[in-house]
Chain A
């Protein structure tokens, strides 16, 4: 479980996060949603340690990430996997080598074992046939799937996804969502997803944190979203006419 306690983050005199507290449970897909500029990317960067919060605690199963030493942080990071908005694959090496990279760096497996593990992960995301290709030779959706394979290659306890559906068509987005959800339950990981995608919110939102102007505005599950009376949440989630009609239909029923 990951727990945030009163997270503040300021850039010079601008306070972006104004005291966010939340809990993200393991085995669930925990979504962070909010409008552009609401602070969700800054929150994610603080959680994974790419930036330090100005104030507050980030507990990984009780371990306060902000208080850990350099080597302890390095060790904790080996338990993390992350899927970036741009996939962030290393473009000078092929797909298989990308997935093998964390294993090459940190495992004591033999080359054959590392290759077998990487191929297993690629097979899990249905991309075994692309192992010899370079990131520039495959589509955006395939790149995201390779990023998922790379993220799970070390069996992480914590998985972070920064807008995993960004730039993908709706059908591919559903595939990526389903894959992340399945992997989360299969490996019992604590997964945190930063997203704008309403299909993800209503599809895989086991737990949803809605932030607005650096503050926690609302939290609940995908089932609570439909029933919520929070004005800002409704404006954000049901911004499109079609979704509004779907909501009205469900409520009438």
Chain B
């Protein structure tokens, strides 16, 4: 039964994506929606991304300094480890897990409410490809903004680590700088951006699927929102495993 449900959902998801990825009926309407979604889903998430990344960067720095401090350990290790964690995992995978909660539930509940209040039916009656009109701008907006948010997150995390050095005096800023630059591989930045690109697609498309296919009332909208977040998070974790082994 579980496998049948999974197969049914996968089939419906593929069908919905088939309807979503077609040429917009009116390009000016698509770009209008795209700009709106960029603002609502991306720009409105900058604050939370910067805040969380700043504190996590600072905490990683403190934890490493306090827990692996030893005369045998070079002083730049804290900066090195902070950089690697922020670049490779936190700013792409963990940040996208957080965004799956914020943005994913937003998308699912918005589309779910549009479904139960017959706004999607109204679009269909007018002859509008509702999946293309509503979902494609969300997917493209997140594909554009989440890689940007990932780079902002890296910067905020490193800034958090520097704040530890400057204001808390836990380590020397010169050691941190040396560690951050030590054995730097530019490819790791691209790894984070490539992963965030995939995760952006997962968050937007899976959440849209759950919201768009709501049947019933407000309780079902709530369930769809929860399912969207849970499914997006699980898929992000699975694809993280796959992408990490593929890219590094």
Contacts and interface: CB of A to CB of B under 8 A. Distances in A.
Interface of A: 48-50, 73-78, 80-82, 84-86, 88-92, 101-102, 104-106, 160
A116 B129 CA distance: 26
Closest A-B pairs by Cβ, 7 of them: A77-B127, A88-B118, A88-B122, A82-B125, A84-B118, A78-B127, A74-B127
B26 A104 contact: yes
Interface in B16-66: 25-26, 28-29, 36
B128 interface: yes
B33 to A, nearest CB: 10
Contact of B29 (A48, A80, A104): A104
Q: How large is the interface on B (under 10, 10 to 19, 20 to 34, 35 or more residues)?
A: 10 to 19
Chain B CB count within 10 A is highest, among A75, A88, A101, for: A88
B215 interface: no
Contacts, number: 56
Contacts of A90: 119, 122
Nearest to B117: A86
Contact of A77 (B28, B36, B126): B126
Given A104-B26, A104-B29, A105-B25, A88 B126 contact: no
Interface of B: 25-26, 28-29, 36, 117-119, 121-122, 124-129
Contacts of B127: 73-78, 80, 105-106
Contacts of A104: 26, 28-29
Contacts of A102: 126
B121 A84 contact: yes
Contacts of B26: 104-106
A86 B118 contact: yes
Contacts of A160: 125
B119 A88 contact: yes
Contacts of B117: 86, 88, 91
Contact of B125 (A48, A85, A89, A105): A48
A53 B5 CA distance: 25
B91 to A, nearest CB: 31
B25 A85 contact: no
Contacts of A105: 25-26, 29, 126-128
Contacts of B29: 104-105
B93 to A, nearest CB: 32
28 contacts: A50-B124, A50-B125, A74-B127, A76-B127, A77-B124, A77-B125, A77-B126, A78-B126, A78-B127, A80-B125, A81-B125, A82-B122, A84-B121, A86-B117, A86-B118, A88-B117, A88-B118, A89-B119, A90-B119, A91-B117, A101-B126, A105-B25, A105-B126, A105-B127, A105-B128, A106-B26, A106-B127, A160-B125
